[in-house]
Amino acid sequence: NAGVTQTPKFQVLKTGQSMTLQCAQDMNHEYMSWYRQDPGMGLRLIHYSVGAGITDQGEVPNGYNVSRSTTEDFPLRLLSAAPSQTSVYFCASSPSPRVPPLHFGNGTRLTVT
């Protein structure tokens, strides 16, 4: 039982490049979410999903896309990277949106130059 797995652990991008951050969970959790963590800002919700085929925006969705084609996977796409997207990104899951995020991945540290 691996919990929530995020890849890659580190990534450096140039401004304007695109990439996908991967997130997978093996606990059959309905609810998955993406957060970014910046110094002095806590964690801020980017996008979330309450089940396969259903996604919605969080607090800071601009510049990011998500999809949820399976229960297990919830990738986050950066469409055109900007230096303001330099951050640590965390994926989280829980059995339902009524339960707070129980399992977090160990994060992807992204630098945009």
Residue ranges that bind another protein, judged by CB under 8 A: 4, 31, 33, 35, 40-45, 48, 50, 58-59, 90, 92, 97-98, 100-102, 104-107
Q: How far is the CB of 74 from another protein (least distance, A)?
A: 14
Q: How far is the CB of 30 from another protein (least distance, A)?
A: 10
**Sheet order of strands, 19-25 included:** 4-7, 19-25, 76-78, 64-66
CA dist., res. 1 & res. 8, Å (int): 19
Q: Which letter does DSSP use for residue 60 in this model?
A: S
CA dist., res. 63 & res. 77, Å (int): 8
Residue closer to another protein by CB (options 32, 112) is 32
Residue closer to another protein by CB (options 17, 97) is 97
Residue closer to another protein by CB (options 33, 87) is 33
Q: How far is the CB of 60 from another protein (least distance, A)?
A: 12
Closest CA relative to residue 67, chosen from 85, 44, 48, 39: 48
Residue closer to another protein by CB (options 44, 77) is 44
**Residue 86, SS3?**
coil
**Residue 84, SS3?**
helix
Q: How far is the CB of 16 from another protein (least distance, A)?
A: 28
